[in-house]
Structure 1
Amino acid sequence: MTVLENINTTDAQTHVDTLNPIAQKPANEVFNTSSPFFAAMQTKIFQSTEHTPPVTTFDFGEDDLTRLILWAASAGLPQDMFGAKMKRAMYIFGPSGCGKTMLAEAFAARTGRSVFSLQCSEETTVSDMFGSWKLCGPDGMKWIYGKVCQWARQPNSILLLDEFDQLHPQVQMGLNGILDGKPIVLDQTGERITIAPGCLIIATGNTNGRGSAGGNGGSAAIYKGTKKMNFASMDRFNVMYVTYMDQSREAKLLETEAKVPAVMATAMTTLAAKIRANFIGLNEDAGSGGMAFQFTITTRNVLNWGMNFKLLVMMRKTPEEAAILALRTTVLDFAPKDEADAILSTWSTIVG
Structure 2
Amino acid sequence: MENIDTSTQHEVKTVKEVFDTTSPFFEQMKIKVFPATSHTPVVRHFKFKESSLTRLMLWAAAANLPAGFFGAEMKRNMYTYGPSGCGKTRLVEAFASRTGRPMFREQCSKETTLSDLFGSWKLCGKDQGMKWVYGKVCQWAKTPNAILLLDEWDQVPADVAMGLNGVLDGAPIHLDQTDEIIKIAPGCMIMATGNTNGRGSAGGQGGSAAIYKGTQKMNFANQDRFNVMFETYLTEEEEIDLLKSETRANPLAAKAMASLAAKIRANFIGLNEDAGANGMAFQFTITTRNVLNWSMNFSLLTQMGKRPEDAYVEALRMTVLDFASKDEASAILATWSTIMGTTSQP
Aligned to 1:345: 334
Of residues 36, 40, 54 in structure 1, which corresponds to 2:28? Answer: 40
Distance in 2, Cα, partners of 1:322 & 1:257: 19
Q: Per the alignment, do residues 198 and 269 of structure 1 end up closer, same or farther by CA in structure 2, a change over 3 Å counting?
A: same
CA contact (8 A) 1:219 1:280 kept: no
Distance in 2, Cα, partners of 1:158 & 1:88: 12
Of residues 175, 179, 192 in structure 2, which corresponds to 1:186? Answer: 175
Query: How do 1:74-89 and structure 2 match up within 5 A?
Result: 74-89=62-77
1:303 counterpart letter in structure 2 = L
Q: Tell me by how many angstroms 1:217 deviates.
A: 5.3
Aligned to 1:94: 82
The range that moved more, 78-87 or 106-115, is 78-87
Distance in 1, Cα, partners of 2:131 & 2:282: 50
Confirm whether residue 59 of structure 1 aligns to residue 32 of structure 2: no
Of residues 190, 196, 202 in structure 2, which corresponds to 1:213? Answer: 202
CA contact (8 A) 2:208 2:274 kept: no
Distance in 1, Cα, partners of 2:161 & 2:191: 13
CA contact (8 A) 2:272 2:282 kept: no
CA contact (8 A) 1:218 1:281 kept: no
SS of the equivalent of 2:268 reads coil
Of residues 241, 246, 249 in structure 2, which corresponds to 1:257? Answer: 246
1:48 counterpart letter in structure 2 = A
TM-score with structure 1 length normalisation?
A: 0.92
Distance in 1, Cα, partners of 2:83 & 2:22: 27
Q: Which digits, 9 at most, give the CA deviation of each residue in 1:180-214, with x for residues without a partner?
A: 00000000111000101100100011111001136
Of residues 104, 109, 121 in structure 1, which corresponds to 2:109? Answer: 121
* Structure 2 residue runs without a partner (length 5+): 342-346
* Structure 1 residue runs without a partner (length 5+): 1-6
Q: Tell me by how many angstroms 1:87 deviates.
A: 1.2
Q: Tell me by how many angstroms 1:77 deviates.
A: 1.8
Aligned to 2:306: 317
Query: How do 1:1-352 and structure 2 match up within 5 A?
Result: 11-12=2-3, 15-16=4-5, 18-137=6-125, 138-213=127-202, 215-216=204-205, 218-280=207-269, 283-284=272-273, 293-352=282-341
Q: Per the alignment, do residues 282 and 249 of structure 1 end up closer, same or farther by CA in structure 2, a change over 3 Å counting?
A: farther
Q: Per the alignment, do residues 281 and 172 of structure 1 end up closer, same or farther by CA in structure 2, a change over 3 Å counting?
A: farther
Q: Per the alignment, do residues 285 and 73 of structure 1 end up closer, same or farther by CA in structure 2, a change over 3 Å counting?
A: closer
Q: Percent identity?
A: 67
TM-score with structure 2 length normalisation?
A: 0.94
Distance in 2, Cα, partners of 1:107 & 1:159: 12
Q: Per the alignment, do residues 21 and 68 of structure 1 end up closer, same or farther by CA in structure 2, a change over 3 Å counting?
A: farther
Distance in 1, Cα, partners of 2:203 & 2:340: 30
Q: Tell me by how many angstroms 1:280 deviates.
A: 5.0
SS of the equivalent of 1:279 reads helix
CA contact (8 A) 1:275 1:293 kept: no
SS of the equivalent of 1:278 reads helix
Distance in 2, Cα, partners of 1:292 & 1:228: 18
Q: Per the alignment, do residues 125 and 100 of structure 1 end up closer, same or farther by CA in structure 2, a change over 3 Å counting?
A: same
Q: Per the alignment, do residues 321 and 131 of structure 1 end up closer, same or farther by CA in structure 2, a change over 3 Å counting?
A: same
CA contact (8 A) 2:59 2:78 kept: yes
SS of the equivalent of 1:239 reads strand
CA contact (8 A) 2:106 2:151 kept: yes
Q: Which digits, 9 at most, give the CA deviation of each residue in 1:266-295, with x for residues without a partner?
A: 111111111111115863379xxxx97310
Q: Which digits, 9 at most, give the CA deviation of each residue in 1:52-96, with x for residues without a partner?
A: 011310000000001001001112223232111221110000011
Deviation beyond 6 Å, 4+ runs, structure 1: none
Aligned to 1:4: none
Distance in 2, Cα, partners of 1:28 & 1:330: 36
Q: Tell me by how many angstroms 1:341 deviates.
A: 0.3
SS of the equivalent of 1:325 reads helix
The range that moved more, 71-80 or 85-94, is 71-80
